[in-house]
Amino acid sequence: MHTVRLAATLLTAPSAGGDEIRRLPVQIALLEVRADHTGDIDPDRLRGWFGGMRLYTLRSVAEGGGCHAGAAERHRRLRRAACDFDLVDLEAERDLTPELLARIPPHQRVISWAGPAADGAAVQARAASVTATPARFYRIVPQARTARDGLAPLRLLRGTARRDLIAFASGAAGLWSRLLSPQFGAPFVFGSVGRDGRSLAEPSVDQLIDDYGLPLHAWPRDLYGIVGSPVTHSLSPRLHNLAYRTLGLPALYVPFEEEEFDGFFRDMVGADALAELGVSLRGLTVVSPHKERARAIGPSDCAIVRRADAANLIVRNGHGWRSATTDPEGVAVALSERCVALGRKTAVIGCGGAGRAVAAALDELGADVTLVNRGLERGRLAQRALRLPFTPLASFSPDDYATIVNATPVGRGGESLPFDIGGMRTGGSIVDLAYGREPTPLIQQARARGLTAVDGLEVCLIQARHQFRLMTGHDMPRAGMTAAPAEAGAFAETMPETIAVTRRHRAATG
């Protein structure tokens, strides 16, 4: 296994004291300064902040960067950078002039190309052109429109078997290829410096370390992931990947940001596109808006999947792909753990895949369930399919319900649902499947009212345990459950075993 190093890319001008650079994790071996965004930084200060290798990059607008300078100004800045940086990025299409190459020797060069998505032949041709000039490293980065666009750079790496070639697909749809690129020879994986929150297009180095365990100490043989749009907010990669490492499983869980499920399944799953790379795609968590389409990919043993006509999990076994759902179990177990009786008058807000599955399961467990939805057409369809009463959201009042489940994404970004829970009776309960960095407005209101409040993070952790077992056949270790942010981790530390409730749910729902 060759050595893989992490590289941190500085995309904004640093603070006066360079605190964001000083705080970089010890795993960072290279700091890339994107001078097209940061401007030119005093090299002496930079050396004081970071003792590893330093790469100067002046990405042009033509290649997706912010540098508008003409050739003369651009080359002047690159020549000056060669005096102060260990490495200088040279764009193959505009910087390989005899004068510039004479001033920047091969051991300082990173020759690069960044451009639109390209098929395998085009990427191979581009690589042949880029690597024709001597350099220390080469970088080929096509933009990904879909997950399939990440295949070409990985095939390039595998085919060339070079240890000086960095190749992956950029953009949210290409993050999975960035994560797998070291397995096929890429010497660095790049992440950004000091960006708040999660990003699939520009993941931070902390995100690469915390969510994906980079740099990896063993190459993954099995690949799992989450597919949907959006998937940026999901904690599943962090939970699953830490569990793999704890158990010593050769696996990696990656995000697939995809707006169209059928094409993704055809190109990446059904065609077994990863098999030629020596990686087996074994299971996928499926989130909005693809749960209905996921149900159509194969048979299911789960009665709730069949009734709700939606799945949030597809798993590969010896007979192909099968669909399942863990949406109901997350809600049922969370309520039971809070000693909330399930056989109460319950409103489920949202008639998408998750809402239908939760409503069907709670109905099977004895709850008096009413469906609520903003759109009338989807609400009526769910009403007929599930044979449950339906109320439009515009006329919904929570006052007559003992339990309300929000099965929509509303609240993840701090939005409030268009109803007031102030009239709910004492002893009522709220479940919100949405979660974000802070409790949603619905959860905050429920807690302020003294109602039982089940946060979406709690539901996520319960579902993660079930999905992990269905995917791998192993129980998720406690370490995997405490990998979430503090508010979820605290819950996981005190969460009692849920075997009895789980068995009850499975018995009732098939």
Q: Give the catalytic positions in this structure.
A: 291
At residue 425, what is the residue type?
R
Question: 499 CB contacts (<8 Å, ≥6 apart)?
Answer: none
Closest CA relative to residue 54, chosen from 63, 62, 45: 45
Q: DSSP letters along 49-87, please? A: H--SEEEEE--BGGGTSSB---HHHHHHHHHHHHTT-SE
The DSSP symbol for 172 reads G
Maximum Cα–Cα distance across the chain: 79
CA 137 to each of CA 80, 320, 404: distance values in angstroms, whole numbers, following the listed order: 20, 41, 56
SS (H, E, C) 318-351: CCEEEEECCHHHHHHHHHHHCCCCCCCEEEEECC
Strands ordered across the beta sheet of 280-286: 251-257, 222-228, 280-286, 313-317, 320-324
Q: Where are the alpha helices (DSSP H) in 257-318?
A: 261-264, 291-295, 303-308
Which tokens in the block code for residue 1? 């296994």
Which tokens in the block code for residue 106? 């091969």
Calculated CA dihedral for residues 441, 446, 452, 458, nearest 10 degrees: 10
How many CB atoms lie under 10 A from the CB of residue 441? Answer: 16
Q: How far apart are CA 41 and CA 21, in angstroms?
A: 13
Q: How far apart are CA 280 and CA 222, in angstroms?
A: 5
Q: How far apart are CA 97 and CA 163, in angstroms?
A: 25
Which tokens in the block code for residue 66? 């912010």
E-only strand ranges, 68-179: 87-91, 109-115, 137-142, 165-167
